[in-house]
Amino acid sequence: MERLTELVAWLRFAEPSWLLMLPVLAGIAGWRRYAGRRRRPGVLFPAVTRLRREELAVRPLIGAIPSILRWTALTAGVMALAAPRAPIPPSSLTSNGIDIMMALDVSESMRRRDFDGKSRFDAAREAAREFIDSRPADRIGLLVFSSASFTSSPLTLDHTLLDRLVDALSPGFIQEPGTAIGMAVLTATNRLKVSESPEKVLVLLTDGENNVGEVGPATAARLAAQNGIRIYTVFAGKPIPGMPAYSAESTEALRKGRDDLAEVAKVSGGRMFSADDSEGLTRTFRDIDRLEKTRILGRKQGRTVELYPWLLMTAGVMLVLEMALSSTRFLRIP
């Protein structure tokens, strides 16, 4: 009963005055049934049971089928005249998935254990794995970099394999010193630009400034933007241990690293984050996850479905069926 109430409340009628015909039809049907019993001609027969055994009699309920079809068709016709409409409300929709490249810094400085007792790389790895697990519908690739860039995994939906590859990484994977952020962005762009996905994202994490490489970060970011790639940068840097926290050299290194990443994010239409502990890194990756999910969520416009064609079709089918049955199997004499 509750579901029926919800359905009726859901419907809208363009011409509701026609619904007044429904109780009139119900009254006519009741009167015909009552009057028909009194006036219908018939023949007295002493053994109805034998007629049924010989299949010459029809059960009352089965015999009423033509009448039921006729009145149901008339009811559907009246409902059609009232022009019922089914409003479909706006609904959220999202894409089937986006393509994401993750670029992790594996330079020697990522070994420093200044992130709540963990190394910078261990904290980044844990946050990256949580991010990967939170996006099962997305193809994700893995790129590592320091003085050069190396694609550890192409874009894939096999996140179990991706987790294993992330676990197997460690700082010092690339022997030569230095941090080539521009080259990392360029390599990731080459992997993403061939993707057919309308949404392409690069998440790049580093703890230093761009100090080697033939292409600068801003130049590489502009090329990424031209290929529809949005870049989120994460700066996981802290003052160098053993150096006064606010020394000119330490402050300048931090400022230069942040400025490089801020420029990369700005040019590509992304956003720059900064974290100096494990909790901050985890929160950063969650923020990126939330930003991307919010970005691709849309609203499907509401619409109205006209139901009267279906009611008219139903009425027509029932009338044809009623006439066919009344002229054959359920023929009445007289």
Comparing CA positions, the residue from 105, 113, 118 lying closest to residue 170 is 105
Helix, strand or coil, per DSSP, at residue 2: helix
Mean pLDDT, residues 199-210 taken together: 90
Residue 306 confidence (pLDDT): 82
Contact 207, 123 (CB under 8 A): no
- CA–CA dist 240, 277 (Å, integer): 14
CA 238 to each of CA 156, 176, 255, 330: distance values in angstroms, whole numbers, following the listed order: 33, 22, 11, 91
Q: What is 99-299's CATH number?
A: 3.40.50.410
Residue 321 confidence (pLDDT): 86
- CA–CA dist 299, 47 (Å, integer): 70
pLDDT tens digits, residue range 228-280? 999 999 998 766 555 554 455 556 767 788 888 999 999 999 999 988 778 88
**How many Cα atoms sit within 13 Å of 152 on the Cβ side?**
25
CA 161 to each of CA 217, 249, 286: distance values in angstroms, whole numbers, following the listed order: 30, 41, 21
CATH 3.40.50.410 in the chain, residues? 99-299
DSSP alpha helix (H) spans, 106-208? 120-133, 159-168, 181-192
Whether the pLDDT of residue 188 is over 70: the answer is yes
What percent of the chain has pLDDT above 70? Answer: 75
- CA–CA dist 45, 174 (Å, integer): 104
- Is 0.85 topped by the overall pTM? no
Mean pLDDT, residues 52-71 taken together: 65
* Residue 71 CB contacts under 8 Å (≥ 6 apart), including other chains: 25, 29
Residue 1 confidence (pLDDT): 47
Contact 129, 162 (CB under 8 A): no
pLDDT tens digits, residue range 128-183? 999 999 888 889 999 999 989 999 999 999 999 999 999 999 898 787 888 899 99
